[in-house]
Structure 1
Amino acid sequence: MSEARERAATGPPVRPRGWAHRHRVLLIAIVVVLLGAALVSISPWESCGRGLRAVDADEESIGSSYVCVGLNLDSGPMRADDPLDPLEKLIKSRNEKAGENFKTIVVLENLAPDPKVDSQPFPFVRREVQGAITAAWPKNGPPGIKLLLANYGSNAEHWQVVAEEIVAAAAAQRIVAVTDIGISTESSRALVAELSRHGIATIGATVTADNMNTDPKGVRIDNFFRVGPTNTDEARAAAGYIAAHGFKRVMMIQGVSKEDTYATTLAEAFQSSSKVPVIFTKTYDVKPLTDTSREAYLRGLFSRWHNDICGARPDLIYFAGRGLDLGALVAALAGDGACEGLDTVTVMTGDDASTLAGKPLPLNKDISVRLRYTALAYPDQWDMFTADPAHPTYKKNYDNFVAEFTGTHGFPKAELWDGAAMIEHDAVAAAVEAAVQNVSSDPVSVPDVLRSIDCNSPVPGATGFIAFDQATGNQLDKALPILSIDPDGSVHPVDLVWSRGRPLNTKADCGR
């Protein structure tokens, strides 16, 4: 019999079974255990969408142990049980209809604020996004506009991640501008400067620090613009109000954190603008705390100042600090005992006080407090404006915005009370105008188009006409409502002033 036929008849030689075959049940069990361990080690937040990276968060504070930071290219959730999810889904559906010849506007904010750390509450952020949606997609608006959200985390801590993702996506996404910018900090300044270095325009909405248009070295950021006021505008308005109402003894409480440029530049601007001498100043600086909240810490600190305030007997305290911190001051004034000779005091501050509105405040306790602040915007502000015959359309522009906000998009009109939706609408409206007027889709071409939005060619907005100063990028002639907050948290208009003392005037502002 041949060797081949012998092999065919007898089959292949018998080999001893390997360990894996002999112990296959045990092997399967080991694989299952290892796979389970791997699944446990792979946390759900590692699936943040394109353009996003996961960072740890305080689950006790925000209900999620992670937050996604970066540019949300897929418009998906950025944390567990993301409260922005309905708006993200709306943005995603509209982006999918933008077609091939689209242009993109980015809304940059701290989109998952931690109440233990951040001064800006989530409802304020939600209203900003609603305002952006209203400006991006009005009923008869231009086609091809996309909106993307970007998150830089608490205190803009992850600004470098956001900058990298926006720069990487700028060409493919045809980014027109990055709007909003959140709060005024050294980190947000660095972010704006980095984007400008790559030719990307930014349009600030709620950033009011005067130095936001300069980089950390003090060099002008060429591609930064803003639709809101500066702190100098706000301080000048407050100083005028204080002088007009006969206040004589002014004390200042000032936040001095080097990171928080909102507080430091607001204090500097008020010192230089006040027509009434500041008789006494107290300063505070809050570092991130591990064992207590910012508000609780400041409540205790301000209580220690009770005797100092009583001794100074101010009739007005100018508060150059965050709204969350102001709440701690009001609580201290209310609950630490009466002062001889100081039954009532007026506390005046900047726009960040809007974060206190809507919440009950102890304003009529041991020391009665009258609370005033200069606001970015207010829904009834044009009812305080005696229409200039040369500018009959301020109220009409606002009414058009409300029709889009409530009618086209179905957002509640009650969401307008703090001005967040109005001011972010105007930032995005300026970006939409640049997108429409620009024949190029290259992001580096946009700043020149934005510079053409000047006193000769302003854009109608909810907060007034938008026109940029050619030298600074700041808004020209911004309207500033002065508002009061009552003990029940309700807000009421007190006055309407202008950053340059008058509405936009093409003859005066354009040198005609």
Structure 2
Amino acid sequence: MLDRLRRRVFWTPRQKFLTLLVTTALVVGAGGWGLYTVLEPEDRSCAPGVARPANSTECVGVDGTGHDFRVPALTAVTAAIGRENAALKPGEYATVALLLPITSTDPGTAEKILRELQGAYAYQYRANHESNSETPRIRLVLANTGNKNAHWRTVVDRLTTMTGAPDRLRAVSGVATSSAEVREAVTALTGAGIAVVGTTITADDLANGPGRDRFPGLARVSPTNSDEARALAHFGRVDAARAILVQDSRTGDHYIDTLRSAFAESLKGAPYEPQLYTSPTDNTEEGNTANTFRQITHLICDTRAETVFFAGRHTQLRQFINALGSRGCADRAFTVLTGDEGSYLGADTKLNRAALGRKLTVRYAALAHPDAWKPGSGRTVPATGGSVVAFDTFLTDIARADEKPVPLRDGQAIVAYDAMATAVHAIRQATPPDAPYPELADVVTQWPQVKGSLRVQGASGWICLDNHGNPYNKAVPIVELAPDGTQRYVQTAWPEGRPPAESCLPPKKG
């Protein structure tokens, strides 16, 4: 009893006072920490020049140090690029940026991006080590525009500040999809006087031409959709009376829009109106188009058509092929012809490969193929338009891009290598004999001279540019998708119906 009384009389006030002090300290400390977390901005950096935009987990920006943008599949090749860049001395190099949606969530696009990085690095290494010490040396940086190119503006704004020292950005390559975002990015870059070399862009309206040089300084190493369609027509000798067009009715996708127009031009006089479907806003999604294709196959069976031209992206192409595999008129044979998006099918696990063994042949106009410039049984390599030597050189170079063999069947690594070769060609041709690097404005003027004996000996074929930066009569490998997923080379077709002359000089137009 006495002890309890002593605690109440003597300890309780002291305990209250100490408790008050401790509580106050805790509250003030917690408040201070809370205020700090509110006022101090979150560290969203991923690497120098790369950060996570607000409300995004992607690492977006420009990097040449070896950062992989948190994409593990890219770690080996980005590390190789970082090592190559680290070996360069200040003032001895010009920079080329590879503009791509590096953090794309679409599996097909992600695979394509890996191959593009491998191809670009392979030529960077050749330019710095296997070109008789030509100058300037080449620094390669990766410019990630984010999934679906959503952050292209942030990245392009950064690139336009890199034309001076120490970067001396002189060209941008990559530029691989014919989308509205890429079109805007190309417009901004060329508007800033920066040379751009597209890899796999094929849309006709993302190109220059007579009276419409809307992208001054743009060059491409892939043929346009119109050239692909012309090459397919020469290859297939298609009877329009026995052909039909299946097309996406959604507009605004430059690849689809121009492929649709090119195929329609090839089918003038056809007795059947096009069969229409409408893809989802994001055409990498499945949507409900599979239901539409089931109906379209019924209607195709009602026609006399033997050849089906398909103008659409690869997800819908796969759905259409799957539907044709279950068609009611299984006794009739069909050939589907399409553009370079067909290259995605080889790795598409949702494709019903059994459909290809049911009198259904799928062929597409590829941008490149490893067998196109390789002698084989029963076929000869064209005497002009490309060379065995150039492709063998590529094989030597691409072997350095990864410890494992780089798959080449989809052509992506080959085209990226050629685009890098074209960019380096322009940079070095524009460099005066007594200067370490060219002026920015001099690089964009080089494209009209990339022809004849000054052509680029590409691994995908000769790159002879017209005065507007488009490849003239570029080789178009026709590829057939086999039931086992093999992308089998059939033969090389040409927009002009035959290989170019040895001079490889585009004719006057108009």
TM-score (norm 2): 0.83
- Give the match for residue 121 of structure 1: 109
Q: Secondary structure at the match of 1:146?
A: strand
Q: Secondary structure at the match of 1:415?
A: coil
- Residue 91, structure 1, aligned to residue 81, structure 2: yes
Conservation of the 8 A alpha-carbon contact between 1:481 and 1:495: yes
Whole-angstrom CA distance in 1 between matches of 2:190 and 2:27: 60
- Residue 68, structure 1, aligned to residue 38, structure 2: no
> Does the C-alpha gap of structure 1 residues 503 and 239 become closer, same or farther in structure 2, counting only changes over 3 Å?
closer
Unaligned runs of 5+ in 1: 1-16, 58-64
Whole-angstrom CA distance in 2 between matches of 1:167 and 1:284: 40
- Give the match for residue 509 of structure 1: 505
Conservation of the 8 A alpha-carbon contact between 1:51 and 1:71: yes
Question: 1:388: Cα distance to partner?
Answer: 5.3
Whole-angstrom CA distance in 2 between matches of 1:201 and 1:423: 18
- Give the match for residue 497 of structure 1: 493
One-letter identity of the residue aligned with 1:498: W
The 5 Å alignment of 1:393-472 reads 394-406=387-399, 408-410=400-402, 412-437=404-429, 438-439=431-432, 440-470=437-467, 472=468
Whole-angstrom CA distance in 1 between matches of 2:204 and 2:347: 28
Whole-angstrom CA distance in 2 between matches of 1:204 and 1:381: 21
> Does the C-alpha gap of structure 1 residues 315 and 22 become closer, same or farther in structure 2, counting only changes over 3 Å?
closer
- Residue 347, structure 1, aligned to residue 333, structure 2: no
- Give the match for residue 278 of structure 2: 285
Question: 1:254: Cα distance to partner?
Answer: 1.3
The C-alpha deviation readout for 1:40-81, integer Å capped at 9, x for no partner, is x93x7x113344453478xxxxxxx621333335442324x5
- Residue 156, structure 1, aligned to residue 144, structure 2: no
- Give the match for residue 479 of structure 1: 475
Q: Secondary structure at the match of 2:346?
A: coil
Question: 1:401: Cα distance to partner?
Answer: 0.8
- Give the match for residue 6 of structure 2: none
- Give the match for residue 488 of structure 1: 484
Conservation of the 8 A alpha-carbon contact between 1:135 and 1:428: yes
- Give the match for residue 134 of structure 1: 122
Whole-angstrom CA distance in 2 between matches of 1:376 and 1:315: 25
One-letter identity of the residue aligned with 1:458: R
Whole-angstrom CA distance in 2 between matches of 1:327 and 1:390: 35
Conservation of the 8 A alpha-carbon contact between 2:361 and 2:480: yes
Question: 1:233: Cα distance to partner?
Answer: 0.9
The C-alpha deviation readout for 1:220-268, integer Å capped at 9, x for no partner, is 3221101111111110111123326x67421111123332110110111
One-letter identity of the residue aligned with 1:228: S
One-letter identity of the residue aligned with 2:416: E
Conservation of the 8 A alpha-carbon contact between 1:180 and 1:207: no
> Does the C-alpha gap of structure 1 residues 489 and 508 become closer, same or farther in structure 2, counting only changes over 3 Å?
closer
Conservation of the 8 A alpha-carbon contact between 1:416 and 1:422: yes
Conservation of the 8 A alpha-carbon contact between 1:239 and 1:275: no
TM-score (norm 1): 0.83
Unaligned runs of 5+ in 2: 1-17
Backbone CA RMSD of aligned residues: 3.2
Question: 1:133: Cα distance to partner?
Answer: 0.3
One-letter identity of the residue aligned with 1:280: E
The C-alpha deviation readout for 1:272-331, integer Å capped at 9, x for no partner, is 134772623123333436xx9722432233224343233235211111111122011112
Q: Secondary structure at the match of 1:382?
A: coil
- Residue 190, structure 1, aligned to residue 184, structure 2: yes
One-letter identity of the residue aligned with 1:232: S
Q: Secondary structure at the match of 2:347?
A: coil
Q: Secondary structure at the match of 1:67?
A: coil
Question: 1:195: Cα distance to partner?
Answer: 1.0
% identity of equivalent residues: 28
Question: 1:343: Cα distance to partner?
Answer: 3.3
Between 382-391 and 183-192, the greater mean CA deviation after superposition: 382-391
The C-alpha deviation readout for 1:361-418, integer Å capped at 9, x for no partner, is 3254496421100100000112367345567x70011001101111x44454451111
Pick from 215, 221, 233: which aligns with 1:227?
221
- Give the match for residue 172 of structure 2: 178
One-letter identity of the residue aligned with 2:344: T
Conservation of the 8 A alpha-carbon contact between 1:456 and 1:510: no
Conservation of the 8 A alpha-carbon contact between 1:363 and 1:369: no
The 5 Å alignment of 1:245-264 reads 248-264=241-257
Whole-angstrom CA distance in 1 between matches of 2:469 and 2:439: 21
Q: Secondary structure at the match of 2:491?
A: strand
Whole-angstrom CA distance in 2 between matches of 1:272 and 1:247: 11
Conservation of the 8 A alpha-carbon contact between 1:114 and 1:154: yes
